[in-house]
């Protein structure tokens, strides 16, 4: 039995509904539109309007009015029920007035849309939801469609049945946390691949059924045999049920390096940069360099200097020039205060032309006068500075870049040319392909770097190149590496002029400080001549500390009166 009474609650006229604790009755009252529970009166209430009263009658609950004490099915509360209740004037910050008598909440386009009659408590609650705003065009509230907002709306309005609420809850989870499968390879494991499963409701059982599948709890991934049939089954199974599949395995016949042009294409592009007067000279010059298998780095350095030489002497005169005319050109360069290293490069380019391209046997190349080279020591960071440099970076990719530059003593182009297969995990070595002079070599792979590479491969999943660009196909650019070093130096508060090559100098010097012999350092650096490596003997502290002053071999009296 429900006791019905007209009351004024929170300045609103309401229909009070009081009953004995009974689950069936309470559930029917809770489902009434706009029903609320009053802790003050210890009962339920609904707005004092005709349609609300009709909704109550339709429940079929027996009731008694507190004024008459009679039971029945007729409407005992006739006073004002046929009239709409006139609301009090609304404050300026309230939404525009509109006649809404029922609550409507629906989920669409990752948002929850709420249409309610204006009540301060309801509006205040909605305003506090994440991402809530008033849509003036549709006259409703819009909030972010997440599970937290959904739960708060259900708790406040009790709008959905448990079944519908569960379906919406699952739909939101699937939208906010989509199913994704990532497949990739890491040099840490041989003959296996890694599979990461993400998203709400992802099918873990399928991977568990694969023979010899193992779970790696540290990186939350599965390790399964690298077999074509298994890979195909994984791709087919997850793609068929709408799961997004990201295949990061290195695929055969795929063009990963978009700038991997042929020699002829590079040659044509280089020739096109010069005017027609010099294109035949550039072609003749580069043809020889390509036949001799000179690197493109050397070609790009020599060709511009050779063209400048031809411009100065005249294209028609260079083939017959003698050493006097050639020396006059270099004297002209020296007078322009051009860097000594640039003049040496120009001399090398001109010598190459006469010795390798046109074979001028009568020209005495040794009579070309070179400027005297200065002696400059490389910039070296202390071990404390290097440690500070490595610790100030937080991006995993940038950390690995700096560790490889310093830990392997690599040149910039050697780092960006490294491939995933160049990491020899079991041998603790890294293969450096086509270093300076087009020579391969092997350097050490430290245990510290291996720990970092585990994290790096799990996060970035490189396919072919160890360091990939944003398109995941091309190599990381030289400028990007330079910026990584520049930003790290700034964060570390180091005032010295530091470049990626500086870390190579630090690698060699710190090895020498530790007592490693020069021939080993020469091999690790890939130097052709040990004289190049010997420059680090001028900056090492180890050798100087072992030198004994001749004064210490004497025994003069120190304390004299």
Q: Choose the catalytic residue: 6, 436, 454, 455.
A: 436
Catalytic (active site) residue 536: yes
Catalytic (active site) residue 101: no
Residues 6+ apart with CB under 8 A from 113: 104, 105, 106, 107, 135, 138, 140, 141, 142
Distances (CA, A) of 430 to 63, 222, 383: 86, 26, 23
Residues 6+ apart with CB under 8 A from 224: 192, 193, 195, 207, 210, 212, 213, 214, 230, 234
Alpha-helix runs per DSSP H in 394-460:
396-408, 412-416, 447-460
Catalytic (active site) residue 152: no
Label each residue of 381-404 as H, E or C.
CCHHHHHHHHHCCCCHHHHHHHHH
Q: Choose the catalytic residue: 41, 388, 433, 501.
A: 501
How far, in Å, CA of 239 to CA of 241, rounded?
6
Other beta carbons less than 10 A from residue 356's beta carbon: 14
Q: Are 453 and 446 contacting, i.e. CB atoms less than 8 angstroms apart?
A: no
6 sits in which H/E element? strand 2-9
Residues 6+ apart with CB under 8 A from 509: 378, 380, 536, 539, 540
What does the CA dihedral 424, 430, 431, 432 come to, rounded to 10 degrees?
Answer: 160
Which DSSP category does 319 fall into?
G
Q: Are 111 and 143 contacting, i.e. CB atoms less than 8 angstroms apart?
A: yes
How far, in Å, CA of 183 to CA of 195, rounded?
5
The angle at the Cα of 398, spanning 393 to 402, to the nearest 5 degrees, equals: 85
Catalytic (active site) residue 10: no
Q: Are 196 and 173 contacting, i.e. CB atoms less than 8 angstroms apart?
A: no
Distances (CA, A) of 192 to 330, 393, 458, 532: 60, 32, 14, 43
Catalytic (active site) residue 248: no
Q: Choose the catalytic residue: 18, 221, 411, 505.
A: 411
Q: Choose the catalytic residue: 18, 221, 504, 510.
A: 504
Could you tell me which residues are beta bridge partners of residue 17?
A: 4, 44
- DSSP per position, 81-129: TTSPPPPPPPPTTSPPP----S-EEEEETTEEEEE----HHHHHHHHTS
Catalytic (active site) residue 266: no
Question: End-to-end alpha-carbon separation of the chain, Å?
Answer: 121
Q: At 430, give phi and psi (nearest 5°).
A: -125, 135
Query: What are 393's two structure tokens?
Result: 């970076």
Which DSSP category does 363 fall into?
S
Query: What are 274's two structure tokens?
Result: 């010069």
Catalytic residues: 411, 436, 501, 504, 527, 536
């Amino acid at each position: 039995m429900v006791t019905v009474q007209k009351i004024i609650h929170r300045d609103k006229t309401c229909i009070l509904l009081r009953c004995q604790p009974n689950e069936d009755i309470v559930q029917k009252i809770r489902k009434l539109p706009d029903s609320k529970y009053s802790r003050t009166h210890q009962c339920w209430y609904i707005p004092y309007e005709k349609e609300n009263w009709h909704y109550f009658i339709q429940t079929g609950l027996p009731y008694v009015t507190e004024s008459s004490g009679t039971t029945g099915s007729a409407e005992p509360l006739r006073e004002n029920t046929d009239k709409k209740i006139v609301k009090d004037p609304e404050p300026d910050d309230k939404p525009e007035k509109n006649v809404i008598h029922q609550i409507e909440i629906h989920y669409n386009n990752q948002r929850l849309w709420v249409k309610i009659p204006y009540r301060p408590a309801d509006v205040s609650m909605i305003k506090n939801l994440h991402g809530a705003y008033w849509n003036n065009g549709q006259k409703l509230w819009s909030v972010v469609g997440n599970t937290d907002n959904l739960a708060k709306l259900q708790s406040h309005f009790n709008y959905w049945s448990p079944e519908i609420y569960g379906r919406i809850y699952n739909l939101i989870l699937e939208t906010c946390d989509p199913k994704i499968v990532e497949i990739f390879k890491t040099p840490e494991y041989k003959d296996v691949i890694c599979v990461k499963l993400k998203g709400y409701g992802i099918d873990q059982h399928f991977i568990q059924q694969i023979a010899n599948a193992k779970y790696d709890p540290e990186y939350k991934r599965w390790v399964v045999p690298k077999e074509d049939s298994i890979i195909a089954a994984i791709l087919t199974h997850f793609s068929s049920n709408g799961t997004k599949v990201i295949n990061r395995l290195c695929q055969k016949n795929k063009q990963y390096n978009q700038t991997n042009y042929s020699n002829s294409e590079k040659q044509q592009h280089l020739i096109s940069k010069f005017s027609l007067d010099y294109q035949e000279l550039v072609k003749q010059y580069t043809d020889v360099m390509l036949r001799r298998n000179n690197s493109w780095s050397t070609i790009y350095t020599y060709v511009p200097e050779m063209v400048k030489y031809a411009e100065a002497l005249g294209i028609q005169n260079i083939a017959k020039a003698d050493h006097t005319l050639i020396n006059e050109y270099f004297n002209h360069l020296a007078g322009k205060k051009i860097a000594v290293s640039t003049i040496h490069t120009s001399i090398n380019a001109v010598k190459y032309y006469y010795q390798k391209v046109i074979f001028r046997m009568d020209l005495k190349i040794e009579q070309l006068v070179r400027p005297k080279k200065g002696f400059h020591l490389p910039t070296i960071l202390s071990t404390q500075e290097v440690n500070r440099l490595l610790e100030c970076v937080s991006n995993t990719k940038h950390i690995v870049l700096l560790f490889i530059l310093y830990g392997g003593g690599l040149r910039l182009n050697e780092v960006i040319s490294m491939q995933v297969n160049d990491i020899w995990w079991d041998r603790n070595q890294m293969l450096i392909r086509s270093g300076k002079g087009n020579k391969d070599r092997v350097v050490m792979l430290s245990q510290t770097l291996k720990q970092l590479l585990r994290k790096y491969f799990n996060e970035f999943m490189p396919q072919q190149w160890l360091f990939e660009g944003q398109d995941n196909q091309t190599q990381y650019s030289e400028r990007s590496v330079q910026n990584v070093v520049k930003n790290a130096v700034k964060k570390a508060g180091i005032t010295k002029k530091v470049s990626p090559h500086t870390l190579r100098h630090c690698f060699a010097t710190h090895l020498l400080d530790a007592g490693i012999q020069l021939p080993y350092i020469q091999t690790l650096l890939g130097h052709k001549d040990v004289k190049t490596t010997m420059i680090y003997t001028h900056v090492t502290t180890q050798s100087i500390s072992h030198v004994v002053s001749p004064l210490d071999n004497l025994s003069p009296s120190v304390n004299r009166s």
